[in-house]
Structure 1
Amino acid sequence: MTIIVVTGTGTEIGKTIVTAALAATATPRSVAVLKPAQTGVGKGEVGDVEEVLRLSGATTGAELGRFPEPLAPSTSARRAGLPPVTPADVADAARKLAEEHDLVLVEGAGGLLVRFDEHGGTLADAARLLNAPVLVVAPAGLGTLNSTALTAEALRARGIEQLGVVVGSWPEEPDLAARCNLADLPTVAEAPLLGAVPAGAGALGPEEFRAAAPGWLAPELGGTWDAAKFTAEFAAAPPA
């Protein structure tokens, strides 16, 4: 794989930190990080690309559009009077980066079907243009099964490969729903569970983050994380 698209089942669930873990685990391979549309961040402020580069040690990053209000990219672009990013823009930029890098990570904004432009273009459209697999980042707790199933269904309907699911923020003290979801997520997604990034991982220093990242991701993503072992460790026993 030379291009991986990273999407989420919603917002604020750990896509950026998972992307950073992927980039950190991929080193010393040459990695580029592409953020098609950064919203809710003003000019001169640190965006997701900068955060991924800081944590992972990757050196190449690109951002196609930056829109100040924390809204869907198409809405934020329209309100700012700025041209939107289109799926074709994303595909062109990713292909150019792939010419000079071993791996390109494309981090979406929000979920898979959030609108990029006034024509309804989405991250799914960009993934289809690229013929690139999609990694889904999901939250750990109650409600995640439905949103994960819907995302997986949307990918299958478009003929897009789903690599698997990574839990974007695994709590230090997981509740019953989170523990049960470890077994249920791969079932509803019809794709493997490929990692769990601990809550607060983004607060680690770069060296500590890079050393720990392979332990959060499965071998399919270059790491050492064992889904069966992790799931068994937190398995919820049924009531007596």
Structure 2
Amino acid sequence: GANTPRADASGMSAGALRRVATRFEESGAAVTWELAYGCFRRPARAGVFVTGTDTGVGKTLVSACLVRRWQALYWKPLQSGLADEEGDTPTVSRLAGGESTQGQGVRCFPPAGAYQASLSPEAAARAEGVTIDSALLALPMEAPQQPLVVEGAGGLMVPVTDEIMMVDLAQRWGLPVVLVARSGLGTLNHTLLSLEALRARGIAVAGVVLNGPPNPENSRTIAGKGKVRILAEIPHEAELDAPTVERLAALLPPWSEIAGA
């Protein structure tokens, strides 16, 4: 079979290649080949998009751990449910900004849309009589070499507008995805379907973070059948505070491994 050409080799023209193929066929040999093409796009800035297989799988905790581990910036583009909770931006700021950051704190960009109802962004905005303007959902470009952790709302197929889902925003932004999934029963179907949806759109996957009690069998199955790296397995914690997040953050790989993947 073919191999790496010599350093001094020069490529054939299309005409020369046809003549060589014809000579092969005339001598009774057979020539087969496969063609592949791809479109590769460098992200507009350093960072990842954190999404989940469902609501409540631990995206905000993982986002806080990533911010802490990488000393990253943070952006929650769309926030709903503010009638019931403080919101993910102050939560990440509080959890990731421990004392050992030498007082630097966490730089969080404000959401492009924040709504009261615990609904999808589209439904929560509609309940307040507004429509989400997708033009406002542009990646913050401040400090583009510093990692930015972008946390999505719900899972990939959560509606943002009548025409846009969260997965469409992930594709638009072009950041590699960190997929957060439960570790226990039911995670295989949800996780493998989410990976399939991402790859069908050509979205790069940085890896999966499993959240909950250790489950080696599920971890192996997701890594093998999903052809994906398990970035970390985050155990259940009874209490979440800045020291806990600092400890959990050490389970995640350094930014250099994600940036170089």
TM-score with structure 1 setting the length:
0.78
Q: Partners in 2 of 1:187 and 1:98 — Cα distance?
A: 36
Counterpart of 2:111 in 1: which secondary structure?
Answer: strand
1:37-76 aligned at under 5 Å gives the runs 37-42=78-83, 46-57=86-97, 58-76=106-124
Counterpart of 1:205 in structure 2 is 241
Equivalent residue, structure 2, for 1:11: 55
Q: How far apart are residue 216 of structure 1 and its match?
A: 2.2
Residue equivalent to 2:146 = 102
1:141 is aligned with what amino acid? Answer: G
* C-alpha distance 107-130 of structure 1, shift in aligned 2 (>3 A): same
In the alignment, the residues of structure 2 paired with residue 114 and residue 206 of structure 1 have an alpha-carbon distance, to the nearest angstrom, of: 30
Give the equivalent residue in structure 2 for 1:80: 128
Equivalent position of 1:194 in the other structure: 231
Larger Rg: 2
User: In 2, distance between residues paired with 1:220 and 1:150?
Assistant: 26
Aligned length: 206
Point out 4+ residue stretches in structure 1 off by more than 4 angstroms: 219-223
Contact 2:183 2:210 in 1 (8 A): yes
* Counterpart check, 1:34 vs 2:79: no
Greater strand fraction, Structure 1 or Structure 2: 1
Flag the 1:98–1:108 CA change in 2: closer, same or farther, 3 A: farther
Identity %: 35
1:130 corresponds to which of 156, 165, 173: 173
Q: Which runs of 5+ in 2 are unaligned?
A: 1-44, 98-105
Superposed CA RMSD in Å reads 2.2
Quote the Cα distance in structure 2 between the aligned partners of 1:85 and 1:145. Answer: 34
Cα 1:69–1:217, aligned 2, differ >3 Å: closer, same or farther? same
Q: TM-score, normalised by structure 2?
A: 0.72
Q: Is the 8 A contact 1:32 1:97 kept in 2?
A: no
- Matched residue, 1:139: 182
Counterpart residue number, 1:181: 218
Q: Any idea what SS the aligned residue of 2:110 has?
A: strand
Distance 1:189 1:221 in 2: 23
